[in-house]
Amino acid sequence: MITVSAFAALDTATIGIDPVLFALILTGGWSLGSTVSPISGNCLVVANTMGKTPIEVAFANWIYAFWVMPALLLFIVWV
């Protein structure tokens, strides 16, 4: 979240990218990172609720990342 907040302060006109596309990139990366990272709050809560280790939950979420990452990249390229 700190990285997303730091990059959100950038002026998109100087980078030469559409602000909506930039927001999509930041939120897409943040959602993938928080889902796949074993130390994110989401993963820790789910692991505690399910009685599994955070590594097991994060490993199970890699399937989500492998489906969402290409979809996100295709959407970015087409926009």
Which of helix, strand or coil describes residue 61? coil
| pLDDT tens, position by position, 23-42 | 888 888 888 888 888 888 88
Residue 47 confidence (pLDDT) above 60: yes
Higher pLDDT, 50 or 72: 50
Residue 50 confidence (pLDDT) above 90: yes
Residue 4 confidence (pLDDT) above 80: no
C-alpha span between 52 and 46 (Å, rounded): 8
Higher pLDDT, 22 or 49: 49
C-alpha span between 23 and 46 (Å, rounded): 27
Its pTM stands at 0.66
